[in-house]
Every structure is written in structure tokens, then in C-alpha cells.
Amino acid sequence: MAELEKNSIEFTDKVKDDVHALAADTTEVELEGYAARRHAEQSLAHKWLSFESEELKEAARKMLHCRSSSTICMTEAGEVRYIWDEVCGLGKICPDEGRKETQRVVKKYVPELRKFAQRRPTHRLFYAVFTQPNFSLGSLKVGMDKIMLDLNERVLKAVEVIPEEERTSRKATRIRFPQIKGALTTLEAPLSEGLKWNVHVNAILMVDGRFDYKEICEAWGHNVEIRELKETDEQSLGQTIQEVLKYSVQLVTTKSASKRERHATNAPAFSEWTEQQTLEWWKAMKGFRRTRSYGEIYALEKVKWNNATQFQREKWLKTAGMPQEWATMEWLDIPKDNRKALKEIVLGADKGDPVTLIAIGRAILNDALTYSVDLIKGNNFFSSTSRKQTTYQPGYGHERFDTGPPGYH
């Protein structure tokens, strides 16, 4: 009990600091702190509530309550964490969901990209932006599908006819860019100054050997910006991925507004789009896999499966509710539909050590401008359920779990 009392006092002090930090955030002009993120999300929500569309209204209601009240906990290490009552889950809009998605992609792909870059001296990484002429209003979905298809057919999976004199077998075609070993791509579709959809794809290309920009541009048929990523340490690659993902996952309002201040573009901010424009974007993005991986980078789960012990495989299969006999199978021999479900489990298997949380309080963050924190001092939040402590596995079914003070990441 003395221990609990001590924790509780520490926690009270820590939370006070945290909440003061939150309050201080409201004066920041940059849309970085917690308060600013909530403000941006909530102003968009208010705008959407004025629309006719029930779909957009529904999303707006989720955005309004996103991360506004939380159970606050302390880990044994003294770190304050938040278990939010409600989160919007709108990864393509919410600044917090966007950050979560970026962190996920960084954690998943940076180690693989690094390994690739360091494996051989001929291995290099390139950052590329593939653009096409803008698409007019009403054809966003068509444009999105087209650019992804073109990228496959013209570059990533392009096939060419082998000239007669070079044929060594009966094979008449070959991969056009065999030096591209893998890629991580993400699509963006902001509204341009001329009120057209500026659909483009950011990509990190994994290349082995000779790489001719001109050939790629020629094959693509439009503009491609390419630069080599010379720094392949963890931090630089993490930053590049953030760059690749940033515009599409950050609140569009933030980006467009700050860009406009720099007079870089007069494109309307997300919050200035009409209902029709918003709805078209919303419908096109719904269910669309914005971030995709190809080639060598694609098979992370395969690598992990192949390196796993029989015991580990059986555990995964059990979790997925699949037959234990499959533990002896090669990854690609598992039926495709099952592979998809199993992939999540295999990749999510090492999401960090369980953390013991001591939950002691509640935080209500009203419009991010005022706040109240209700600490249950000397008491344990979970004692009412006759449990003194609880163990959370980050990323496992606790979607509303956030680490650290929400204003400072």
C-alpha cells in the first residue's frame, strides 16, 4: 500500500506537469501540439456538420470527440499514458491517427530498407515522385486507379519485348526494370489551385545496379522527380518515410494553410473544400490502400514466417484459429485468404514488451482549451474491479492507447 501511495504522489506531480504542458500548447501558432491538432480536427468537424451528407456528418461526430477524455495511467517506469475514451480512427484525416500510421510504417519498413541498402555496394535507395496531369472534378477515383495501374505497368512491373538478337530462350518478354527490387509507395490527392485533383505517388525505390533517370521518365511518360537517398541510417530513413507519408496523413488543413502562408500555392485548404469536393475525396479514399509495398519489401511476413520456430508458428496459427498442421508449410503454400489474416498476427508479434500500468485518474480536455484532471489519489482505478494492476500489450486490441504526453512527440 505504501508503494501504491508513493506511485500515486509521483503520478499526481507528473500529470500536473503534463496537463500544464497541454495548456501551454494552446498558445502555439504551429499546428503541432495537442491543442492545435484538436482545434484543426474539430474545426473541420464543425464544417462537415453543416453538410447534407449523413456520411460526412457521421465522420464529423467521431472527429468531435476524438481524444477529448481519457483515463490516465502511469507505467512502473513513471511514464504517463492515456487511454482515450474515443478516437476517430480516420487515418486519412485525423492528425493523431496520421502520426500513428506514420510511426507504424516507419517501424515496419525502416529496418528492411536499411538492410537492403547495406547488403551490397550496388544497392541504393531513391526517392521519387510520379506525377500525371491533374484530373478534373468528378474523376478523382478514376485518376487514383489510373496512376496506380500506370505505375505498375510502366515502371514497377513493366514488361518489354526482348529483341530477336538478344533472345537466348523461347522467352519473348522480360522485366523492363529488373534493377528495381522493391518499392514503398503512397498516393496523395490534394485539390490544386485550379480546382483539379493533383494525383501523384511518392515512392522509395530499392535499386540494385545501374539506374537511369531518363529511362524511368521515358517509361512513365510524365514528370518524375528522383533523388538518391545517400543517408541510410535509421534516423534519415525515418525522416524520409515521414516525408513520403506526411501530406496524405497529416490533416490537409494544416498543410494547405501553412503552404498558403508561404505563398507557395493558392490551392484551397481542406476545410475550404465544398461539400461536393469533400464527398468525392471521402468516397475515393474510402477503402483505398494509400500506402503499398512491392517486391523485396513486400515479403516481410514471409521472412518472419520462414525464420520462426515450429512452436512460434503454432502459436500464430492458434491465435488466428487456423489448423496447427500448417506450421510445417511454407508461407506461400498457406491459402491466400488465410495468409492475409495470418499476416497481421505474424507481423504484429513483436510489438513491444508488456507494460504494467497503474491507472489512477481521468482527464477531460474540453475543446483542448480548458481541462480538468480528476485524480483518484491514493486509490487505484482498477481496484473497483478487484485488480490492483493491469498489463497492456501495446498495439494489441488497445487501440485507444497512447504513450507520452499528447502535446509533445
Give residues in contact with Zn ion (CB under 5 A): 66, 88, 94
d(CA 327, CA 312): 9
d(CA 252, CA 269): 7
- For Zn ion, the closer CB: 22 or 128: 22
- For Zn ion, the closer CB: 61 or 181: 61
Please, what sign has the CA dihedral across residues 347, 353, 356, 357?
negative
Minimum Å distance from CB 249 to Zn ion?
A: 12
d(CA 398, CA 59): 21
- For Zn ion, the closer CB: 39 or 124: 39
- For Zn ion, the closer CB: 148 or 363: 363
372: which residues sit within 8 A by CB, 6+ positions away?
A: 363, 364, 366
Minimum Å distance from CB 41 to Zn ion?
A: 5
SS3 of residue 128 by DSSP: strand
d(CA 407, CA 409): 7
What are the backbone dihedrals phi and psi of residue 321, each rounded to the nearest 5 degrees, phi first?
Answer: 70, 35
User: Is the distance from CB of 269 to CB of 257 less than 8 angstroms?
Assistant: yes
Minimum Å distance from CB 188 to Zn ion?
A: 19
Minimum Å distance from CB 39 to Zn ion?
A: 12
User: Is the distance from CB of 153 to CB of 207 less than 8 angstroms?
Assistant: no
339: which residues sit within 8 A by CB, 6+ positions away?
A: 301, 331, 332
Minimum Å distance from CB 47 to Zn ion?
A: 15
- For Zn ion, the closer CB: 110 or 245: 245
Minimum Å distance from CB 50 to Zn ion?
A: 19
Minimum Å distance from CB 98 to Zn ion?
A: 9
- For Zn ion, the closer CB: 90 or 110: 90
Residue 289: C-alpha distances to residues 145, 177, 215 (Å): 11, 24, 28
User: Is the distance from CB of 362 to CB of 374 less than 8 angstroms?
Assistant: yes
Minimum Å distance from CB 60 to Zn ion?
A: 11
User: Is the distance from CB of 183 to CB of 293 less than 8 angstroms?
Assistant: yes
The strand pair at 80-84 and 69-75 is best described as antiparallel
Minimum Å distance from CB 163 to Zn ion?
A: 55
Minimum Å distance from CB 45 to Zn ion?
A: 9
SS (H, E, C) 214-283: HHHHHHHCCCEEEEEECCCCHHHHHHHHHHHHHHHHCCHHHHHHHHHHCCCCCCCCHHHCCHHHHHHHHH
- The side-by-side arrangement of strands in the sheet containing 200-208 is 224-229, 123-131, 200-208, 180-188, 291-295
- For Zn ion, the closer CB: 94 or 237: 94
Residue 160: C-alpha distances to residues 97, 153, 171 (Å): 41, 10, 11
